[in-house]
Amino acid sequence: MTRATARPARSHFFCSACGNEESRWFGRCAACGAWNTAAEAPAAAGAAAKARGPTARARWAPRGEAARPPGPRPLGEVEVAGAQRLPTGLAELDRVLGGGMMTGSIVLVGGDPGIGKSTLMLQLAGSLAGTGRRVLYVSGEESEEQVRLRAARLGPVPDGLLVLTETDLELVLEAAAGVSPDAVIIDSIQTLSRGDLEGGPGSVTQVRECALALLHFAKGSKAAVFLVGHVTKEGAVAGPRVLEHMVDAVLYLEGERYQHYRVLRAAKNRFGSTNELGVYEMLEGGLREVMNPSEAFLSHGAGERAEPGAAVVASLEGSRPLLVEVQALVATSFYGTPQRVTSGYDGRRLAVLLAVLERRVGLKLGRHDVFVTVTGGLSLDEPGTDLGVALAIASSFLSRPVLAGTLALGEVSLSGELKRVARVEARVREAVHLGFRRAGVPALQADDARPPAGGFEIVPLATLRDAIEKLLGPRVATRRPALAPERGPDAAEAGSTAATPGRREDGR
Ligand code: TYD
Ligand code: MG
């Protein structure tokens, strides 16, 4: 395109989808692959930012600090008394933040539309204000009445909770400076804009500049700032990716929209671990913390007889093991390339497990479709859950259910051997607590797994093949739901063949 050559070498471009910056115009973004998203940064953006720098700082920096001459100073002299951790009163949120919110921090809360971000933030605001703190809730998406109605559903509305419906950044900052809040919630960052910048609300420049000004406000005023951000189809917060780099913590609220569990996890956290996970239930009265999430994610009780294709894994989420059910369905494929469909599990990891099942165990899965689902809308990305997923697939393929009340732990190596998992004893303890009777663990860890209660069996396993032999029960007839007779008199007979085992080809 002639456009590229027509530009002076110094102007720069960014992708309006992901914020990736390039020195030249581009047709397709090298970072996110989107087409025709190149936008030129305002010509004097660099110079303007420089000119604005000190003013912005003087404006949002605390009074005392503005007087200090700029430049390096001994690290030891930096006062740390200012930053404090405050419990928000929402235990699961505190856990994900690393033990409460930090004063002067800026946190991005992302999630799909309708997942419950505004609800969570309003509950946070209510909880903080209920303990005598002052909270400014800025809504650019809903009217005061709508916010008030929602707040009323969530519980009492404390006096310290202030609402502002505004989308102009300058006015928001002015209001915030006027009420000196302990926390400011911006719902959402994509609705804010600065009048003096090009681009509408939600554009890369606007989102970035607004977030930057709020960052200065947070650091200067010691208020905790929460930014709500919508997520694009690809799963990143819409607007520039730089937003994720700018903030202190990035939290994602996830879940299946039509199921009621929500999982809050940190993708980044400067003040704590990113492994912690908070579990909520969306109810009439807002999000309620789930005290025992393992129970929530198990569709069968520990003692119930399971169907072939189901296995229970213990995923370590931060300090907490979570018991989750994995379901697999293996069916003869009608396509040249069999389908592999997963929900909540990495497709490439599945490909590895299938290859190991085929080569090391001898299950001929090559012509079968394989579907894997993690219940409760959770996603598993922890290697200790490999064995359970592989076992669920083998169980479906062989029509042999996993023994009732069994937990499977182990990372599957390419050789088919089972590797150690982290904190095996904590995972086993969770299974004991929930009434499970047995845990298959890598043989190397059988001693560490130490059954804490009598009657709980630890099954040491050397390989995946070993696990299949020891943890799967006898073959059962594949139960097919009875269908209404459609093919005349044979229908009754068809019903009875469903109960006859051995009709399906299997991999021995
Ligand atoms: P919301 O917080 O508006 O989502 P977001 O800000 O992420 O777009 O949540 C909207 C959904 O939550 C909506 O479908 C209604 C549901 N909801 C409840 O089930 N119970 C409640 O108490 C509230 C306030 C919302
Ligand atoms: Mg909302």
Please work out whether the CB of residue 118 comes within 6 Å of at least one atom of ligand 1.
Answer: yes
Please work out whether the CB of residue 111 comes within 6 Å of at least one atom of ligand 1.
Answer: yes
Q: Whose CA is nearest to atom 8 of ligand 1?
A: 114
* Average pLDDT rounded to a whole number, residues 143-154: 93
Separation CA 158–CA 124 (nearest Å): 12
Residue of 108, 282, 289 to mutate, ligand 1, most atoms within 8 A of C-beta: 282
Q: Whose CA is nearest to atom 22 of ligand 1?
A: 286
Specify burial of residue 478 (Cβ count, 10 A radius: 0-12, 13-18, 19+): middle
Span from the CA of 118 to the centroid of ligand 2 (angstroms): 4
Structure tokens at 211: 């977030």
What are the C-alpha distances in Å from 348 to residues 315, 381, 390? 18, 11, 13
CB 108 within 8 A of CB 241: no
* Sign of torsion over alpha carbons 353, 355, 359, 361: positive
Residue 177 in 3-state DSSP?
helix
- pLDDT tens across 11-59, in order? 577 777 777 777 788 888 887 777 777 777 654 444 444 444 444 444 4
Please work out whether the CB of residue 286 comes within 6 Å of at least one atom of ligand 1.
Answer: yes
CB 501 within 8 A of CB 476: yes
The pLDDT value given to residue 15 = 75
Q: How confident is the model at residue 3 (pLDDT cuts 50, 70, 90)?
A: very low
Q: Whose CA is nearest to atom 21 of ligand 1?
A: 286
Is the predicted pLDDT of residue 340 greater than 70, yes or no? yes
Q: Whose CA is nearest to atom 16 of ligand 1?
A: 116
Span from the CA of 105 to the centroid of ligand 2 (angstroms): 21
Please work out whether the CB of residue 153 comes within 6 Å of at least one atom of ligand 1.
Answer: yes
Q: How confident is the model at residue 102 (pLDDT cuts 50, 70, 90)?
A: very high
Is the predicted pLDDT of residue 6 greater than 60, yes or no? no
Q: For residue 231, give the ligand nearest its CA.
A: 1
Separation CA 260–CA 317 (nearest Å): 20
Please work out whether the CB of residue 284 comes within 6 Å of at least one atom of ligand 1.
Answer: yes
- pLDDT tens across 225-260, in order? 999 998 765 666 666 567 888 899 999 898 776 678
Please work out whether the CB of residue 405 comes within 6 Å of at least one atom of ligand 1.
Answer: no
* Average pLDDT rounded to a whole number, residues 177-199: 91
Please work out whether the CB of residue 285 comes within 6 Å of at least one atom of ligand 1.
Answer: yes
Extended strands (E) in 49-97: 85-86
Residue corresponding to tokens 């200067």: 220
Q: Are strands 224-230 and 286-289 parallel, antiparallel or unpaired?
A: unpaired
Span from the CA of 176 to the centroid of ligand 2 (angstroms): 20
Please work out whether the CB of residue 115 comes within 6 Å of at least one atom of ligand 1.
Answer: yes
Span from the CA of 46 to the centroid of ligand 1 (angstroms): 40
Instruction: Please state, rounded to an integer, the average pLDDT across all residues of the chain.
Output: 82
Please work out whether the CB of residue 117 comes within 6 Å of at least one atom of ligand 1.
Answer: yes
- Closest listed residue to residue 507, CA positions, set 395, 347, 411, 387: 395
- pLDDT tens across 274-288, in order? 777 888 989 989 999
The pLDDT value given to residue 498 = 37
CB 456 within 8 A of CB 432: yes
- pLDDT tens across 434-492, in order? 888 999 999 999 988 876 567 899 999 999 999 999 999 999 876 666 666 544 444 44
What are the C-alpha distances in Å from 16 to residues 191, 198, 236, 238, 362? 16, 13, 13, 9, 49
218: Cβ–Cβ under 8 A, 6 or more apart, which residues?
104, 105, 106, 184, 224, 225
Residue of 109, 118, 119 to mutate, ligand 1, most atoms within 8 A of C-beta: 119
Q: For residue 109, give the ligand nearest its CA.
A: 1
The pLDDT value given to residue 502 = 37
Amino acid at 130: G
The pLDDT value given to residue 47 = 43
The pLDDT value given to residue 451 = 65
Q: Whose CA is nearest to atom 14 of ligand 1?
A: 114
Q: What ligand 1 atom has the least distance to the C-alpha of 228?
A: 6
More confident residue, 232 or 336: 336
Q: Whose CA is nearest to atom 12 of ligand 1?
A: 116
* Average pLDDT rounded to a whole number, residues 310-335: 88
Separation CA 345–CA 327 (nearest Å): 11
The pLDDT value given to residue 480 = 67
Q: What angle do CA 75, 79, 85 make, to 5 degrees?
A: 115
Span from the CA of 420 to the centroid of ligand 2 (angstroms): 42
- With a pLDDT cut of 90, the percent of the chain lying above it is 47
Q: Whose CA is nearest to atom 1 of ligand 1?
A: 116
Query: 287-310 burial by CB neighbour count: b if 16+ within 10 A, else e?
Result: bbebeebbebbbeeebeeebbbbb
Is the predicted pLDDT of residue 69 greater than 70, yes or no? no
Q: How confident is the model at residue 82 (pLDDT cuts 50, 70, 90)?
A: low
The pLDDT value given to residue 290 = 85
Q: How confident is the model at residue 493 (pLDDT cuts 50, 70, 90)?
A: very low
Residue 122 in 3-state DSSP?
helix
Weakest mean pLDDT among 240-244, 286-290, 339-343, 413-417 = 240-244
Extended strands (E) in 152-235: 161-165, 183-187, 224-230
Q: What is the pTM of this model?
A: 0.70
CB 432 within 8 A of CB 352: no
Span from the CA of 237 to the centroid of ligand 1 (angstroms): 19
Residue corresponding to tokens 């590895």: 352
Separation CA 35–CA 81 (nearest Å): 49
Separation CA 473–CA 506 (nearest Å): 16
Structural Rg of the chain based on CA atoms? 27
Q: What ligand 1 atom has the least distance to the C-alpha of 121?
A: 2
